[in-house]
Amino acid sequence: MNKEKTWVHLRDSFWFLPVIYSLFAILSVSLVTMIDLWMTPSIKENIPAIFLMGNSSAQAMYGALITGILTMTTISFSTIMVVLTTYTTQFSPRTLQDFMRSRVTQHVLGVYSFGIVYVLITLLLLGEEKNKALLSPFITAVVAIICLGFFVLFIHHSSRFVQVNNLIGQIRSSTSKVIHKTYREKDYVERTEWDEEDINHRKRYEKRAIYAQRSGYTQGVMMQPLIKWAKQHNVLLEANFFVGSYIQKGMPLFYYWSEEETKIKEEWGEGYVWLGNERTDLQDIEFSLQKLVEISVKAISPSINDPHTAINCINRIGSLLAELGEVYEPIRYYADDDNELRIILEPLSYREYLYKSFYQMRIYGKHDISVMTGILEALYKIALVNREAIKKDVWEFSEYIMRSVDDDKLERLDREYYDDQVAKLKQACS
């Protein structure tokens, strides 16, 4: 259980790939050194002279290469700090995760780590024999050229990532993947409804609770191992949280019913539920949408005053909610392969996704008609491509949005455009 959780945290940590690259650099140095010791002396007659170099020339070159790679690394770290500062002040602190966990960012720093470790160890292993012909300096020069290529790639990557439109596009793409991953076909049984008599029959035993041993955000649930465990111990579990909700130490994490006197250790729950100091987008659709919401709210603030960025975010949020509406099912019951109910986990309703996506924009953008009509247009497009149940939720929510607009104070042209959006939305939802 904890192995998968630990692996996910290691994989997403900032230092994981640089460490892997550094270990690979040590292996590479060992291999190249063995070639110089055992193979190069016997085949140097057949190797072009441009690929071979003496000790004194190699030492001078290594010193210059180390300086160059360290300079590129320093500039890259400085660029990272600039990007992080820009994200925090102009966009949202939550968007820092997207840049820090970007595979391009981590691979670039991994290549730098490889280059520095490779050159330093190669320099340390350089022998005293001055006339000895070596192949390793040429390979080291190739490593330095690769580092230079990744340096150019990183500058390009950072300059694109700091542009708000590209950032919004990245978040929209990653959120779309989370949505389809959440609602794809699973290896276990999922249901939106279950026989109430069966549920009451399973709950006829004494109700017990499993309490959280520490505080934190629920980052995800290992559903398949949890179902397997519940089947093995013949218990019915009911979660007392949503994915993404904050868990306070000492509060019930699960309730459970068992026909046997099953006692579950308090720390058991943390083996199947990932708790962390911050929310992540591994299974949390709401958090992914929240990033776009925060960018849009900050864009319409008086300090930035960029309604076009806010409308761009609203369009992407509308697109994501339309995708979510196509696949959304209020799945709350999870059964084992024998079709025995094992877990009850209440989902967020589609109406809650709508509310969490737009309620802050309603508060801070109600005096900006371009923002409000942008929300109505996004709701219109959601209703246009979805089924009746989604249309109903969209119309009820749109009434909540429209009540915040004081249309009596609108200028004639603003009023005409606003009424046109309302009419389109009403027709799409009818």
CA of 166: how far to CAs of 106, 284, 295, 311, 330, in Å? 19, 22, 13, 15, 32
How confident is the model at residue 17, as a pLDDT?
Answer: 83
Question: Does 43 share its domain with 109?
Answer: yes
Residue 70 domain-assigned (yes or no): yes
Closest of 242, 280, 388, 395 to residue 325, by C-alpha: 388
Question: Does 365 share its domain with 421?
Answer: yes
How confident is the model at residue 1, as a pLDDT?
Answer: 46
315-319: average pLDDT: 95
State the DSSP string of 25-40: HHHHHHHHHHIIIIIH
How confident is the model at residue 6, as a pLDDT?
Answer: 63
How confident is the model at residue 7, as a pLDDT?
Answer: 59
Rg (CA), the chain: 29
Task: Among 72-81, 83-92, 314-323, name the one with the lowest average pLDDT.
Answer: 83-92
**Banded pLDDT at 54 (limits 50, 70, 90):** low
pLDDT tens sequence across 126-148:
755 555 667 777 888 888 888 88
Residues belonging to the chain: 430
Q: Which residue has the higher pLDDT, 45 or 388?
A: 388
356-374: average pLDDT: 91
Question: Does 140 share its domain with 221?
Answer: no
306-331: average pLDDT: 92
CB 136 within 8 A of CB 120: no
**Banded pLDDT at 40 (limits 50, 70, 90):** low
How confident is the model at residue 179, as a pLDDT?
Answer: 92
How confident is the model at residue 321, as a pLDDT?
Answer: 95
Residue ending a domain, choose from 108, 127, 162? 162
How confident is the model at residue 69, as a pLDDT?
Answer: 80
Residue 45 domain-assigned (yes or no): yes
SS3 331: coil
Q: How far apart are CA 317 and CA 179, in angstroms?
A: 13
How confident is the model at residue 317, as a pLDDT?
Answer: 95
Domain count of the chain?
Answer: 3
Residue 393 domain-assigned (yes or no): yes
Question: Does 138 share its domain with 71?
Answer: yes
* Tokens read off for 182: 């959440």
- What is the residue type of 200? N
Helix (H) or strand (E) holding 258: strand 252-258
Residue 334 domain-assigned (yes or no): no
- CB-CB neighbours of 154 under 10 Å: 22
Question: What's the start-to-end Cα distance of the chain, in Å?
Answer: 48
How confident is the model at residue 398, as a pLDDT?
Answer: 94
Question: Does 138 share its domain with 46?
Answer: yes
Residue 15 has pLDDT above 70, yes or no: yes
pLDDT tens sequence across 250-285:
898 899 888 776 666 655 656 788 888 888 877 889
Residue 335 domain-assigned (yes or no): no
60-81: average pLDDT: 80
**How much is the mean pLDDT over the chain?**
83
Question: Does 268 share its domain with 289?
Answer: no
Question: Does 58 share its domain with 199?
Answer: no
CATH number of the domain at 221, please.
3.90.1170.30
Residue 98 has pLDDT above 80, yes or no: no
pLDDT tens sequence across 386-403:
999 999 999 999 999 999
* Tokens read off for 415: 């009023």
Task: Among 55-59, 145-149, 364-368, name the one with the lowest average pLDDT.
Answer: 55-59
Closest of 146, 139, 109, 108 to residue 121, by C-alpha: 139
Question: Does 316 share its domain with 257?
Answer: no
**Banded pLDDT at 349 (limits 50, 70, 90):** very high
Task: Among 38-47, 96-105, 189-198, 250-259, name the one with the lowest average pLDDT.
Answer: 38-47
**Banded pLDDT at 423 (limits 50, 70, 90):** very high
Question: Does 122 share its domain with 10?
Answer: yes
CB 106 within 8 A of CB 14: yes
Angle at 121 between CA 118 and CA 125, to 5 degrees: 130
- CB-CB neighbours of 273 under 10 Å: 24
**Angle formed by the axes of helices 55-86 and 136-161, to 10°?**
10
CB 425 within 8 A of CB 413: no
pTM: 0.77
Question: Does 271 share its domain with 290?
Answer: no
**Angle formed by the axes of helices 369-384 and 412-429, to 10°?**
20
Residue 169 domain-assigned (yes or no): no
Q: How far apart are CA 297 and CA 386, in angstroms?
A: 27
Q: Any bridge partners for residue 256, and if so which?
A: 208, 237
Helix (H) or strand (E) holding 239: strand 235-239
Question: Does 68 share its domain with 198?
Answer: no
How confident is the model at residue 318, as a pLDDT?
Answer: 95
Q: Which residue has the higher pLDDT, 403 or 50?
A: 403
Residue 407 has pLDDT above 90, yes or no: no
- What is the residue type of 111? V
Closest of 317, 320, 325 to residue 392, by C-alpha: 325
Structural domain harbouring 86: 2-162
Residue 182 has pLDDT above 90, yes or no: no
Residue 170 domain-assigned (yes or no): no
Q: Are strands 252-258 and 273-276 parallel, antiparallel or unpaired?
A: unpaired
Q: Where are the beta strands (DSSP E) in 319-378?
A: 333-335, 341-344
pLDDT tens sequence across 187-238:
788 998 999 888 888 888 888 888 888 899 998 888 888 898 888 888 899 9
Residue 336 domain-assigned (yes or no): no
Question: Does 424 share its domain with 299?
Answer: yes
